[in-house]
Amino acid sequence: MLNQSRFSGFTLAEVLITLGIISVVAAMTLPSLMNKIQKRDTAARLKNFYSAMNRRLTGLPSITASPVTGLKLWYIMTQVLCTTGLINT
């Protein structure tokens, strides 16, 4: 009985090697995971911006009746960017 309990379990070296391997794998995968999250967040924000711009521009009178000037379009884009959170004022 005494001999069996003496050999059960892991040594400190085995635990440290296992933790080292896990940390190396985590360090290699974390940057790509963060990059994917950032790309997905950016895509969601741009879709939100596009949707908000579409809603604002379709609410305007017809382009032939009242052309949207560059300044007015800039004003609308700034409002939409602020409300969607893409920029801070």
Dist CA 40 CA 32 (whole Å): 12
> Is 42's pLDDT higher than 70?
yes
Q: What confidence category does residue 89 fall into, taking pLDDT thresholds of 50, 70 and 90? A: low
CA distance 42 to 86: 9
Residue 72 CA to residue 57 CA, distance in Å, equals: 11
What pLDDT does residue 61 have? 59
What one-character DSSP code corresponds to residue 65?
T
pLDDT confidence of residue 80: 77
- Mean pLDDT for 55-59 is 72
Query: What is the Cα–Cα distance from 26 to 15, expressed in whole angstroms?
Result: 16
Which pLDDT score is estimated for 29? 94
- pLDDT value of position 60: 62
Distance CA 20, CA 51 (A): 47
